[in-house]
């Protein structure tokens, strides 16, 4: 049975700008064919077992020729696969979608074209430039600037194009900016007409320069401004001074690596995005149910005695989540905890309990195990029974201290933390090009397993790139692990919370200079 091909516009770079239908197509695809103009973050929506096919440029291979890409789509579909061809921006605007669709048609393969948000309008918008304006421009033209001057002259009727619309958008024309400017002036555009070039718009590397037709070439050369960029010509450029919203966001210009488990990363990822940064998710751990018969027996036994505990200490959100999973599997009733006092380490853990109808004891200020003892120390009496449901990587300090005080501690490992990191060529390239500006660690496990993953993917050279990044840790224990791994910790949250970690990143970015990829 022949498959189907979806020619999907991936948007300009910010992964959130893909359409809902585009996301749906990625989720059901058996194979996704993409290049570097499509955000690699979009690939996280692929289903397990789906194939990624990168057709962009690699160090040992030039970009796959368009004819080869066309044939690749045919071959994959003939194998019965549902295929997504991810194309930057909108596939119908200089995306060569016509050539791909035509070969699919000739081979009798069903296809759909899924429009995307074109960079011709979205990139200027992220730079604070509306491409139309009631008082300044009621029309626009989108023009290729990629070809040589001879070909540009063949493709563009400068006499008609120059003054045809209020705004002119040139795609991929940075290297030809001088020629384009001279042609527009020669055909009637005033030399003082405003011009803007926006490079890598909607991404962490977004950069904008402005000038006029008469001086923009020299400005581009002086700034060493390189492709890819969108060129905007017209009075709408003047709106940028008042409307450059993205650059005012506190994490603008920074790509931040998020290493925590994907099931827990959403809050941190969302906060980074909301504040103008670009999160790159690379989960290095995942939490799973124990498989050891011995551990499972210990959990079963602990849950048989739920009505006999005086205290239950929850030390993480994972502890809460897995406690309820085991509660369900053992068929126990939460009302068995009626006589127990319940305490939580940190507001996130308390919130996880509150969502399930349990209100934890008053929280301590110090969001780690020591804080539990500091807060409840006078009320911890010898002979009391304590249930400590937590992961297999938990420190021994808390059960040891409780035992020293004469309490009977049932320390059950209700979940396990295991390595999750997978090969990620895009992440390797970002590190090598200086495209990762900060790395966040929310536990000692994330430090240990990221170092292991990078060592496997790129050896000592990649670890050295990691050392060049700003390292941000959620607390002193995590920071200690990072330091032991040879990393210099530059940022640490004042409180062991995601929000506090984000606040530290925002403070850092106030004075941190912009760094661009090599």
Write down the residue that tokens 């739920």 correspond to. Answer: 306
Which is it for the CA torsion 13, 14, 17, 19, positive or negative?
Answer: positive
Catalytic choice (35, 90, 207, 411)? 35
- Answer whether residue 517 shows pLDDT above 70: no
| Rounded Cα–Cα distance for residues 348 and 90 (Å) | 40
- Is 57 considered catalytic here? yes
Beta-sheet strands, E only, within 407-463: 408-419, 438-441
Beta-sheet strands, E only, within 68-123: 82-87, 110-114
- Answer whether residue 366 shows pLDDT above 70: no
Q: What is the pLDDT of residues 387-432, one digit of tens each?
A: 999 999 888 898 999 999 999 999 999 999 999 878 888 899 899 9
CB 378 within 8 A of CB 287: no
| Rounded Cα–Cα distance for residues 38 and 95 (Å) | 12
Q: If residue 471 lies in a helix (H) or strand (E), which one and from where to where?
A: strand 470-473
- Sorting pLDDT into bands at 50, 70 and 90, what band is 361? confident
CB 487 within 8 A of CB 454: no
Q: What is the pLDDT of residue 515?
A: 60
Give the CB-side neighbour count of residue 465, counting CA atoms within 13 A: 22
Q: What is the pLDDT of residue 262?
A: 80
Min mean pLDDT across 17-31, 74-88, 501-515 is at 501-515
Catalytic choice (23, 28, 52, 172)? 172
- Answer whether residue 251 shows pLDDT above 90: yes
Q: What is the pLDDT of residue 365?
A: 63
Mean pLDDT score, 42-60: 82
Give the CB-side neighbour count of residue 71, counting CA atoms within 13 A: 5
- Answer whether residue 59 shows pLDDT above 60: no
Q: What is the pLDDT of residue 451?
A: 96
- Sorting pLDDT into bands at 50, 70 and 90, what band is 374? confident
- Is 35 considered catalytic here? yes
Put simply, whether the predicted model's pTM sits higher than 0.85 gets the answer yes
Beta-sheet strands, E only, within 222-316: 229-233, 255-258, 278-281, 285-288, 311-314
Q: What is the pLDDT of residue 305?
A: 94
Whether the link from the prior residue into 228 is cis, omega within 30° of 0, is yes
- Answer whether residue 201 shows pLDDT above 90: yes
CATH architecture of residue range(s) 121-247: 2-Layer Sandwich (3.30)
- Is 510 considered catalytic here? no
Q: What is the pLDDT of residue 486?
A: 94
- Answer whether residue 56 shows pLDDT above 90: no
Q: What is the pLDDT of residue 426?
A: 85
| Rounded Cα–Cα distance for residues 90 and 72 (Å) | 20
Q: CA 430 → CA 212, 284, 427, distances in Å?
A: 34, 17, 5
Q: What is the pLDDT of residue 179?
A: 93
Q: What is the pLDDT of residue 377?
A: 84
Closest CA to 300 of 290, 310, 314: 290
CB 323 within 8 A of CB 314: yes
Q: What is the pLDDT of residue 211?
A: 97
Average pLDDT taken over every residue of the chain: 91
- Sorting pLDDT into bands at 50, 70 and 90, what band is 363? low
**What are the extents of the domains in the chain?**
4-117, 121-247, 255-284+420-511, 291-419
Mean pLDDT score, 301-320: 94
Give the rounded distance of the alpha carbon of 207 from its chain centre. 19
**Inter-axis angle of helices 293-304 and 317-330, nearest 10:** 80
Catalytic choice (57, 106, 381, 488)? 57
CATH code: domain 4-117 is: 3.40.1010.10
Helix (H, G, I), strand (E, B) or coil at 29: coil
Q: Do domains 255-284+420-511 and 291-419 have the same CATH topology?
A: yes
Q: What is the pLDDT of residue 347?
A: 86
Q: What is the pLDDT of residues 472-492, one digit of tens each?
A: 999 899 999 999 999 999 999
Q: What is the pLDDT of residues 432-484, one digit of tens each?
A: 999 999 999 999 999 999 999 999 998 999 999 999 999 999 989 999 999 99
Please name the fold of domain 255-284+420-511.
Rossmann fold (3.40.50)
Please name the fold of domain 291-419.
Rossmann fold (3.40.50)
Min mean pLDDT across 30-39, 272-281, 411-420, 509-518 is at 509-518
Q: What is the pLDDT of residue 371?
A: 79
- Sorting pLDDT into bands at 50, 70 and 90, what band is 511? confident
Look at 155 and 30; give whichever has higher pLDDT.
30
- Answer whether residue 263 shows pLDDT above 80: no
- Sorting pLDDT into bands at 50, 70 and 90, what band is 252? very high
Mean pLDDT score, 135-153: 83
| Rounded Cα–Cα distance for residues 119 and 34 (Å) | 17
């Amino acid at each position: 049975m022949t498959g189907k091909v979806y020619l999907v516009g991936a948007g300009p770079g910010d992964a959130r700008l893909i359409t809902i239908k585009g996301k749906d197509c990625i989720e059901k695809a058996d194979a996704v064919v993409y290049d570097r103009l499509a955000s690699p973050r979009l690939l996280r929506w692929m289903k397990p077992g789906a194939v990624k096919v990168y057709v962009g440029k690699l160090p040992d291979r030039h970009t796959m020729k368009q004819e080869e890409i066309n044939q690749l789509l045919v071959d994959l579909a003939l194998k019965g696969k549902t295929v997504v061809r991810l194309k930057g921006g909108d596939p119908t605007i200089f995306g060569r979608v016509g050539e791909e669709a035509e070969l699919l048609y000739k081979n009798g393969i069903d296809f759909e074209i899924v429009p995307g948000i074109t960079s011709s309008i979205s990139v200027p918008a992220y730079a604070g430039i509306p491409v139309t304006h009631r008082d300044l421009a009621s029309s626009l033209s989108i023009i290729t600037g990629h070809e040589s001057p001879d070909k540009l002259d063949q493709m563009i009727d400068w006499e008609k194009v120059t003054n045809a619309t209020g705004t002119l958008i040139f795609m991929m024309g940075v290297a030809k900016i001088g020629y384009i400017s001279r042609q527009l002036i020669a055909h009637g555009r005033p030399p003082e007409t405003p011009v803007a070039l926006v490079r890598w718009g909607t991404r962490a590397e977004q950069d904008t320069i402005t000038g006029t037709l008469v001086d923009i070439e020299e400005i581009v050369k002086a700034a060493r401004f390189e492709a890819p960029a969108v060129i905007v010509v017209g009075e709408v450029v003047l709106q940028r001074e008042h409307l450059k919203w993205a650059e005012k966001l506190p994490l603008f210009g920074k790509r931040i690596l998020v290493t925590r488990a994907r099931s827990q990363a959403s809050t941190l990822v969302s906060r980074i995005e909301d504040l103008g940064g670009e999160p790159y998710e690379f989960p290095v751990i995942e939490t799973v149910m124990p498989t050891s018969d011995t551990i499972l027996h210990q959990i079963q036994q602990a849950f048989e005695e739920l009505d006999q505990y005086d205290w239950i200490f929850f030390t993480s959100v994972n502890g809460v989540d897995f406690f309820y999973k085991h509660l369900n599997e053992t068929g126990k009733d939460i009302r068995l905890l009626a006589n127990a006092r319940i305490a939580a380490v940190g507001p996130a853990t308390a919130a996880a309990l509150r969502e399930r109808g349990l209100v934890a004891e008053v929280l301590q200020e110090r969001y780690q195990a020591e804080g539990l003892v500091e807060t409840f120390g006078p009320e911890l009496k010898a002979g009391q029974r304590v249930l400590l449901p937590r992961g297999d990587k938990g420190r021994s300090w808390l059960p040891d201290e409780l035992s020293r005080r004469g309490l009977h501690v049932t320390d059950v490992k209700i979940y396990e933390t295991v390595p999750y990191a997978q090969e990620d060529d895009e992440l390797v390239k970002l590190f090598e090009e200086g495209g990762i500006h900060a790395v966040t660690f929310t536990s000692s496990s994330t430090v240990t397993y990221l170092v292991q993953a990078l060592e496997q993917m790129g050896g000592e050279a990649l670890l050295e790139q990691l050392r060049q990044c700003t390292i941000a840790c959620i607390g002193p224990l995590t920071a200690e692990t990072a330091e032991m791994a040879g990393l210099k910790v530059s940022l640490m949250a004042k409180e062991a919370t995601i929000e506090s970690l984000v606040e530290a990143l925002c403070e850092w970015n106030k004075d941190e200079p912009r760094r661009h990829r090599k």
